Structure 1
Amino acid sequence: MAHWLNELRGMLGLGMVAAGVGAVASSVATLSGQPIEVPIAVGEAVRPETLTGVPPGVRLGSSLDMVVEEPSVTQRALELAATLPRIALITVVLALLWRAVRQASHDDPFRSALAMRLRTLGILLITGGPAVWVAESVARYALSSTVGFGGTYAVVDFLVPLAWLFFGIAVLAVGEIVRRGQAMRADLDGVV
């Protein structure tokens, strides 16, 4: 079992490195003035009848990406505010998982602080995920107001905070199972 846990820990380590490299690459690209894509909800911003030459049976979807070729400093800052919080949270979650897996591979999971680590991770997912989603949504709304449609037309995906909540609850459940296993182990140790 320790071999499998070591492989998992290695994959989590690679994930942390990839997230870090992605954050740095994204930041460098944004700060250097690379074009940025601003997803906007079509609704009031673009009327479907403004599209010409579209074959029958094809229509404009609910969102489209506007490309800002020469973003201003404000647009770059808003783009970073709309992308970096999620990458930071994912990196922290991967680091906490890495530590939990390391502890499980070195110690008896039913005699260690694994349940507490899983509880901490679950609470982080439940609180941090929706908080990051709100921060990114606010930044996306502000960014969408800079593309010249005279309003804010950011695309909001309400499934994102639900996914964070779901995974947080799942991790809390696993942590509770481990905690109960620890209690049973302590009871058995007292009997034997």
Structure 2
Amino acid sequence: MKSLRRPDWLDELHGLLLVALVLTGIGTALGVVSILAGQPVEAQVAVTGGSAAGPPAGVTFGSWIAVDIVHPSAAQKGWALVAMLPRQLLIVAALALLWRVVGRARRSDPFGPGIAPAFHRLGLVLVLGGPVVWIVDFVARTRLSDSAGVGGTYAVLDFVVPLAWGFCGFGAFAIGEILRRGRAMRVDLDGVV
């Protein structure tokens, strides 16, 4: 049992964040290249009509279907990029900030200067960036759906998305505040001793 090493969870998390950052960056780059290369772009359109006998089996009026735009125009490629890229860049930015602060905490004092403000910056990026990305994504998906040329325009404004970004952001604020208070307590205790 003594030969087993005790895991350093900051080190493990730092490595995992690096893997997530690299894979997300590669996935984002591949997605951009795929869209720019003219690969089919998926759009959601509303089902607005059918034959005189009614809609096909399993489809009701007012629902949506996914369509592939096989030969997307430049505008459709642009809307597909706008629908995908800001969200991916926000994820990459959040992962990079978190990777950086965990690395600093691992190499030095977790209650050292700069750690709590770094978590506050991460929270700010998530709380402000999340809703902006959410609106941009909605507008881009609406425009892409409108440009498909079949069915009606369809895009869902999912209110869970900004709540999730906000929850993550406020979690980062809370961690930063815990670290700030821990640092203040340490300074007070050092003054007493």
- TM-score above 0.5, yes or no: yes
Q: State the TM-score, normalizing by the size of structure 2.
A: 0.88
Match of 1:53 in 2: 57
1:121-176 per-residue CA deviation (whole Å, 9 max, x = no partner) reads 00110000111111111111111110124753222212111110111111111111
**Aligned pair partner of 1:38 in 43, 51, 56:** 43
Q: List alignment gaps of at least 5 residues for structure 2.
A: 1-5
User: Equivalent residue of 1:145, what SS?
Assistant: helix
**What displacement does 1:47 show?**
4.8
User: Within 5 Å, which residues of 2 pair with 1:129-148?
Assistant: 129-148=130-149
Q: Distance in 1 between matches of 2:117 and 2:62?
A: 45
User: Which residue identity is paired with 1:4?
Assistant: W
Match of 1:155 in 2: 156
Identity %, equivalent residues: 46
Task: Kindly state the Cα deviation for residue 50 of structure 1 after the two structures are TM-superposed.
Answer: 4.1
Which residue of structure 1 aligns with residue 3 of structure 2? none
Kept in 1, the 8 Å contact 2:42–2:68? The answer is yes
> Secondary structure in 2 aligned to 1:37?
strand
User: How far has the Cα of 1:108 moved from its partner?
Assistant: 1.2
Partner of 2:14: 9
Alignment of 1:78-97 (within 5 A): 78-97=79-98
1:181 and 1:19, CA in 2 relative to 1: closer, same or farther beyond 3 A? Answer: same
Distance 2:70 2:17 in 1: 36
**One-letter identity of the residue aligned with 2:145:** S
Report the counterpart of residue 115 of structure 1 in structure 2. 116
> Within 2, Cα distance between the matches of 1:113 and 1:62?
50
TM-score relative to the length of structure 1: 0.88
CA RMSD of aligned residues (A): 2.1
CA distance in 2, matches of 1:61, 1:145: 15
Q: Classify 1:94/1:50 alpha carbon distance in 2 versus 1 (closer, same or farther; 3 Å).
A: farther
CA distance in 2, matches of 1:47, 1:177: 56
Gaps of 5+ in 1: none
In the TM superposition, what whole-angstrom CA distance separates every residue of 1:168-190 from its partner, at most 9, and x where no partner exists? 11111111111111110110011
2: CA distance between counterparts of 1:73 and 1:22? 22
CA contact (8 A) 2:49 2:151 kept: no
